[in-house]
A = this chain, B = another copy of it.
């Protein structure tokens, strides 16, 4: 038996995307967003959805460039600080000690301490309702050198990204590998 919860935006897992922008005077700014996901392979693109009242939305419309950094679980407290509404005068990078690093290919800051970073260029802005979707071409993907495996790629367990429980307002970590894709289900198709 399933219980109906009505019209509600809930899914699992949801990401914790850390969106980095510069404001008009070049000061780094960031916010968290759990609404988003990949949306295209060619060009590689990622969607995030924001409210138009967010500063980040305004910065992205001005600069057309931004980053998405993927926080790792050991930085959950610092990350959460960027999701809390506060007085504009508080510099959250200074308060948390996280390091805004100027991206290489776009005019936006990423978080130096976070293991995975996307440099994005705005390609579409799509009003939906309370939220406006921002589609960005991923012009560069960056991953910390020191977490790459011998095959040159990282594992999820080492990246240690966060998920967001939107019903309970909690962050969770990732577990272990449970199956090989395009493979573990093949037995059913013979």
Contacts and interface: CB of A to CB of B under 8 A. Distances in A.
B11 A118 contact: yes
Contacts of A42: 129-130
A177 B10 CA distance: 17
In the assembly, how many copies of this chain are there? 2
Contacts of A11: 15, 17, 37-38, 46, 68, 70, 116, 118
Given A9-B46, A40-B49, A40-B133, 18 more contacts: A2-B143, A5-B141, A11-B118, A38-B166, A40-B130, A42-B130, A45-B128, A47-B47, A80-B185, A92-B189, A95-B188, A95-B189, A124-B128, A156-B163, A169-B183, A170-B177, A171-B179, A171-B180
23 contacts: A7-B138, A7-B139, A8-B138, A9-B38, A9-B45, A10-B38, A11-B17, A11-B37, A11-B70, A12-B156, A39-B49, A40-B130, A42-B130, A80-B186, A81-B189, A83-B185, A84-B186, A155-B168, A156-B168, A170-B180, A172-B174, A173-B174, A174-B175
Contacts of A143: 2-3, 5
A133 B39 contact: yes
Nearest to A143: B3
A155 B12 CA distance: 10
Given A8-B44, A35-B38, A175-B174, A148 B90 contact: no
A155 to B, nearest CB: 7
A168 to B, nearest CB: 7
A96 B185 contact: yes
Question: Looking at chain A, what size class is its interface with the partner chain?
Answer: 35 or more
A188 B98 CA distance: 11
